[in-house]
Amino acid sequence: MAVYLGFDSSTQSLTATAIDVTAETRRVLFEHILQYDDAFPAYGTTNGVWVGGDRRVVTSSPIMWAEALDAMLETIAREHPDIVRTVHAVAVAAQQHGSVYVYGTATPTFEALDPRRPLAGQLEGIFAREEAPVWMDSSTTSQCRALTDELGGEEAVIRLTGSRAHERFTGPQIRKFAETHPERYQRTDRIHLVSSYLTTLLAGRHAPIDSCDGAGMNLMDIRGRAWAPAALRVTAPALEKRLPPIVVPWTVVGPLAPYWRHRHGFPSARVIVGTGDNPSSLIGVGIVEEGQVAISLGTSDTVFGLMRDAAVDLSGTAHTFGSPTGKYMSLVCFRNGSLVREHVRDDHGLDWPGFSDALRNTPPGNDGALMLPWLDPEITPPVSSPGLRRRGFDRSDLAKNVRAVIEGQMMAMALHSRWTETRVERIHATGGAARNAEILQVVADVFGATVHRIGPSSSAALGAALRAFHADARAAGKPVPWSEIVSGFANPTDSVIHPNPRHHERYRELMRVYEDFERSER
Ligand code: ADP
Ligand code: XUL
């Protein structure tokens, strides 16, 4: 057996996926999920986060993420003792952009974790910020403006870093911290992404940042894949010495720290550099070549695909990140994903089957009823005054609300991912809501493309396990091509959803109306 373990520390949960790879076998051995709110109620998170009074400040707990990792490895060791002994390598995927700030005392703490005591308690006192800002935070508009001016305007920022300055990106968040808490910033020794922080815990030493997740910071030169000195200079004083180095995505950080070996019985497996959940999902859904697109319907909704070159979207909508294969990926992110779907579901006292019934029993196009699904401040398009906007119906009409939220989301996805000018014929769908065939039918009809459902595994955690396999083989001097890495794992299940041409035509007309509605309400 050659077992690889991947983790996905997402907004609401931690998932672990184990795969077995031999010449004959390729299979997922198990998947475990821990929901933060349920498993760790003491932290008082809702959907994995703390939301501030004006809904713009959104944070979470780095100690809770560590406690979840400890609990996960304990569960895996208890339930699969034989498998655990054969783990060759591990890798982390995590929600992107979020940042963890630690003092200098963190370094000896990470290096000497005591296997007789739980992890979380040993981390008390090392954080310069107890609350880590996460990707849902939208409180740094003034920092984004200032950074953009100082770097020579929006186009200059996009060309340099691959994205315009975004509120949730790490650079603007760091600048805000340095401005509002200069003394704590001065004492901050290292700033990690969520992915490099969790990898640090696994390796027992400061881990680097990979060039995929590093691209989500407004601090990295997207073509050079190195820190951009101009961006660091305008963000915060002496920032470079506080950031881990940037490395290629197949870098081996070191062996699993003695803590995991002695506390839970893991072997001395290789720890691979971590990455963002979206880059990891790109691998998890099997996209290792250009021309295919994936949609992830999770807490955030994202549309992403692989690109050979570092093309950038000068309109400022899409991001250019690195891809784990060493190329690039484009990504458009929507803040109002699963949580607004749940809001509409709960507002009408439905469960998911009831929600699906409502979709099935309403006509595509919803008789012209439209909803802009901006329950919270939106990323794409940028909307800072939240609130659902309805046209042609009101809150009391259950069925129309259900269809309107899904059609609004999917039309927004199609509209804002047009910049790559790729004709989308086939979409890989992943994320929690990809379980829902009625939602995927709307995706197929709006895009006019077949939708291939990926499952049942979490694509981000599976992608992490596959990255571990790839980097381990390379480190052992027996590199395996990416097409072979994903083969047999990341193939879409047999569930393919076909678009209805008549419905697609209806959506093409409606999208023009939706675009005007969106423009008038921003
Ligand atoms: P994360 O962004 O935290 O990784 P997931 O991709 O795991 O999120 O998705 C979790 C979400 O999936 C839940 O918040 C829930 O709204 C959604 N979900 C689960 N089952 C269904 C379903 N049958 N239909 C629609 N949405 C669903
Ligand atoms: C991507 C983004 C989100 C998070 C969610 O830019 O902000 O998709 O990665 O986990």
Q: What is the pLDDT along the chain (522 residues), one digit of tens a residue?
A: 899 999 999 999 999 999 999 888 889 999 999 999 999 999 999 999 999 988 899 999 999 999 999 999 999 999 999 999 999 999 999 999 999 999 999 999 999 999 999 999 999 999 999 999 999 999 999 999 999 999 999 999 999 999 999 999 999 999 999 999 999 999 999 999 999 999 999 999 999 999 999 999 999 999 999 999 999 999 999 999 999 999 999 999 999 999 999 999 999 999 999 999 999 999 999 999 988 899 999 999 999 999 989 999 999 999 999 999 999 999 999 999 999 999 999 999 999 999 999 999 999 999 999 999 999 999 999 998 999 999 999 999 999 999 999 999 999 999 999 876 667 888 999 999 999 999 999 999 999 999 998 776 789 999 999 999 999 999 999 999 999 999 988 655 558 999 999 999 999 999 999 999 999 998
- Cα distance between residue 216 and residue 250, in whole Å: 18
How far does the centroid of ligand 2 lie from the alpha carbon of residue 300, in Å? 6
The single residue listed with the structure tokens 């509120």 is 167
- Cα distance between residue 393 and residue 139, in whole Å: 32
**Atom in ligand 1 nearest the alpha carbon of residue 342:** 16
- Cα distance between residue 445 and residue 507, in whole Å: 7
Segment holding 482, helix H or strand E: helix 482-486
Segment holding 347, helix H or strand E: helix 338-347
How far does the centroid of ligand 1 lie from the alpha carbon of residue 48, in Å? 13
Q: Is 302 in the pocket of ligand 2 (CB under 6 A)?
A: yes
How far does the centroid of ligand 2 lie from the alpha carbon of residue 136, in Å? 8
**Atom in ligand 1 nearest the alpha carbon of residue 298:** 6
**Atom in ligand 1 nearest the alpha carbon of residue 430:** 6
Which string of b and e fits 348-368 if b means at least 16 CB within 10 Å? bebebeebbebbeebebbbee
- Cα distance between residue 52 and residue 176, in whole Å: 16
Q: Is 333 in the pocket of ligand 2 (CB under 6 A)?
A: yes
How far does the centroid of ligand 1 lie from the alpha carbon of residue 291, in Å? 26
Q: What is the DSSP letter of 366?
A: G
- Cα distance between residue 12 and residue 26, in whole Å: 29
- Cα distance between residue 375 and residue 395, in whole Å: 13
Smallest CA separation from ligand 1 atom 14, residue: 338
Give the closest ligand to the alpha carbon of residue 48.
Answer: 1
**Atom in ligand 1 nearest the alpha carbon of residue 300:** 2
Q: Which of 426, 154, 428, 173 is nearest to 313 (CA)?
A: 154
Q: Is 342 in the pocket of ligand 1 (CB under 6 A)?
A: yes
- Cα distance between residue 205 and residue 258, in whole Å: 11
The angle at the Cα of 46, spanning 44 to 47, to the nearest 5 degrees, equals 135
Report the residue among 60, 278, 299 best suited for mutation to probe ligand 1: largest number of ligand atoms under 8 A from its CB.
299
- Cα distance between residue 157 and residue 316, in whole Å: 10
Smallest CA separation from ligand 2 atom 5, residue: 95
Q: Is 37 in the pocket of ligand 1 (CB under 6 A)?
A: no
How far does the centroid of ligand 1 lie from the alpha carbon of residue 515, in Å? 27
Q: Is 328 exposed, middle or buried (0-12, 13-18, 19+ CB in 10 A)?
A: buried
Segment holding 74, helix H or strand E: helix 62-79
How far does the centroid of ligand 2 lie from the alpha carbon of residue 239, in Å? 23
The single residue listed with the structure tokens 């709006």 is 446
Report the residue among 281, 295, 338 best suited for mutation to probe ligand 1: largest number of ligand atoms under 8 A from its CB.
338
Q: Could you tell me if 407 and 370 are in contact, meaning their C-beta atoms sit under 8 angstroms apart?
A: yes
How far does the centroid of ligand 1 lie from the alpha carbon of residue 337, in Å? 9
Query: What pTM was estimated for this model as a whole?
Result: 0.97
Give the closest ligand to the alpha carbon of residue 299.
Answer: 1
- Cα distance between residue 456 and residue 160, in whole Å: 38
**Ordered alpha helix ranges (H), 334-397:** 338-347, 352-360
Q: Is 374 in the pocket of ligand 2 (CB under 6 A)?
A: no
Residue 444 tokens, joined? 């197929």
